[in-house]
A and B are shown apart, each in its own frame.
Chain A
């Protein structure tokens, strides 16, 4: 049983479209991280959210942490081919934010 469910699993869109991917859990996390991974590379941290209801923006990417700290979303505005990759969310518990619980990821393809 997955502790962190990510949806959708796959997403293929055209350049310029908007999209939202989700990360849901029945567990409460002290922090939640979003990573992007490209083929043959390791995950690269995009953002860490720690407060329920928190919203963080990184250029065209908007991250939200649910009020109850059980879920999160990533919204991309005007997607570009360079956004293509695997988006992973990972939850951390207080006292050991490195023993992360990972989702399976959303594989995003942005077509020109």
Chain B
């Protein structure tokens, strides 16, 4: 069974550009989470989907970030316009239930120059 997959694995963009990150959760997992780790800082929660609904988006940094999960399958996280401080590794995780183990993808390393 395929694990959580994220695309792209790396992205380098210029300040002001738009980037869209994609996460394909494990099939059948209703819960999908986005996290971010900025260099030198701890991993931080961004938001949580249950199927296509946003359960908790309290960790989203600002309105330049937009997450969607149309159809309750894969999710996208768009950053528009990107700023230098958005650089970091973005992780996606999924779980079948809210409790229990969440499985992480390999992450997308975003560099804004």
Chain A interface residues toward B at CB < 8 A = 2, 4, 40-45, 48, 88, 90, 96-104
Contacts and interface: CB of A to CB of B under 8 A. Distances in A.
Contact of B102 (A45, A88, A103): A45
B59 A99 contact: yes
Contacts of B101: 45, 48
Contacts of A101: 42
Interface residues of B, number: 23
Contact of A104 (B42, B58, B91): B42
Contacts of A88: 43
Contacts of B48: 96, 98-99
Interface of B: 4, 31, 33, 41-45, 48, 56, 58-59, 91, 93, 95, 98-99, 101-102, 104-107
10 contacts: A4-B42, A43-B43, A43-B91, A90-B43, A96-B48, A98-B48, A98-B102, A99-B56, A99-B58, A100-B45
Contacts of B99: 97
A88 to B, nearest CB: 7
Contacts of B91: 42-43
A102 B42 contact: yes
Given A42-B93, A104-B42, A98 B31 contact: yes
A104 B37 CA distance: 10
Given A98-B31, A98-B98, A99-B56, A41 B42 contact: no
Contact of A98 (B4, B33, B42, B106): B33
A92 to B, nearest CB: 10
Given A4-B42, A99-B45, A44 B104 contact: yes
